[in-house]
Amino acid sequence: MRLVILAATCGAVCGCSSSAYDAAYAKRLAEYRVAAEFAPLRAEPLVLADGRLHLRLPALLVSQLAGEEATNRSTPPFIRDFPGFLTAYEGRVDASDGRFPVVLTVGLVPAGERRKEEVAETLLRQVRRDEEFTKAAWQKGREVVDLAGGTRRWDVLELEGDQVFEVEKAGLTADKRLPGRTEVWLSADPTQKASVILAFRVPGDAASRLPLPATASLTARSVRLVEP
C-alpha cells in the first residue's frame, strides 16, 4: 500500500513539474517569436507627449527632426499642417543615384481637442491637393494585434506615386520628384482618448530597406497610449 501511495505521489509531483516546465518553455518560445518578429524595430520604446505615447521606432531611423529644418522635411510636403505634430525620425539610405531620406512623422491629438473624424478630414483634404493623389481615400478599420495581445483598429492612406524627396548626390542636396510610397496610419479605436498619426515616407529606391506596409504595421502594433 505504501508503495502505491508513493508512486501516485511521485506521479503527481512529476506531472506538476512537467506541466510547469512546459508552460515556461511555451512562454519563452512565444517571447522569442515576438522578439524575432519585431527585430526591425528598436528594442526600447520611444516615449513622447509627456509619457502618454509609447512606440518602437524602425531601427533604420536614427536622426530626430524637430520640424525646424531649413527644408522642413519632417512632414510630407503635401501634409504641412500635420495634426498634433510631436516629432519625426529620419534615416538615410544609399542607392545608385544618391542618398535618399526615409522618414516617420508622429502626431497625437487628444479627443477633447479634435475628434478622430476631423483629424482624418484635415489629413485627406491636404493629400488630395497634390496632383498625384487627388483620388486618395481612407482604408478604414485595418486591424492589428498589439504587443499586449489586444486588437487595435487603424485607418490607412496608401499613397504611391511621384512625390518630392530631398536627395543628396556628389555633396549637393536638392529636392526631386521621384517615385515613392507614403502611408498615413490614423488610430481608429472607438473608445480611444487620443488620435495617433504615423506617416511613413519611403522613396522607391529605398523600399527594400524599409518595406511598407510591413514596417508600418509593426510600428502601429507597438503603439501604446498611457492615461496621464
Per-residue pLDDT at 69: 64
Per-residue pLDDT at 31: 46
Per-residue pLDDT at 174: 87
Per-residue pLDDT at 21: 61
Residue whose entry in the numeric block shows the C-alpha cell 507614403: 182
Per-residue pLDDT at 7: 47
Task: With a cut of 50, list the residues of the chain below it in pLDDT.
Answer: 2-8, 10, 27, 30-31
Per-residue pLDDT at 227: 82
Per-residue pLDDT at 15: 61
Per-residue pLDDT at 28: 55
Per-residue pLDDT at 22: 64
